[in-house]
Amino acid sequence: MIQRRKSGAKANRLSRHESARLVSITDSLISRVAAVDHLLGRDALTLVVGWRYSERVLANRRLSTYLRRHHSKVHSRLTKLIVSIRRDRAGGHILVRR
């Protein structure tokens, strides 16, 4: 876990170890995304990223409430989409690991 230092003029800087770890994690993510893109194609990768993002948006109570109040159709469609994808995934139609 990356933690920021709490005191001094350089309080917002990462240590060398933290910076190296962040670079390593980023490189790993980039290679995993490339592998998924190669195996499943761009459309599947876009679907998974959009699905996960939508889940996070709706899991955020403030964002979900805002969408429900001001953009109820969008909220409803996202909710239905997530339910549909979860149902397909449970039936083995979508191959995504958690």
C-alpha angle 45-50-53 in degrees, rounded to nearest 5: 125
Residue by residue, DSSP assigns 16-67 as HHHHHHHHHHHHHHHHHHHHHHHHH-HHHHHHHHHHHHHHHHHHSHHHHHHH
Instruction: Read off the pLDDT of residues 33-77 as tens digits, 9 standing for 90 and up.
Output: 888 778 777 787 788 888 889 999 999 999 999 999 999 999 999
Tokens of 32: 């995993």
Structural domain of 66: 16-90
Considering its fold, how many domains does the chain have in total? 1
Would you say residue 30 lies in a domain? yes
Would you say residue 65 lies in a domain? yes
pTM over the 0.75 mark: no
Mean pLDDT of the chain: 80
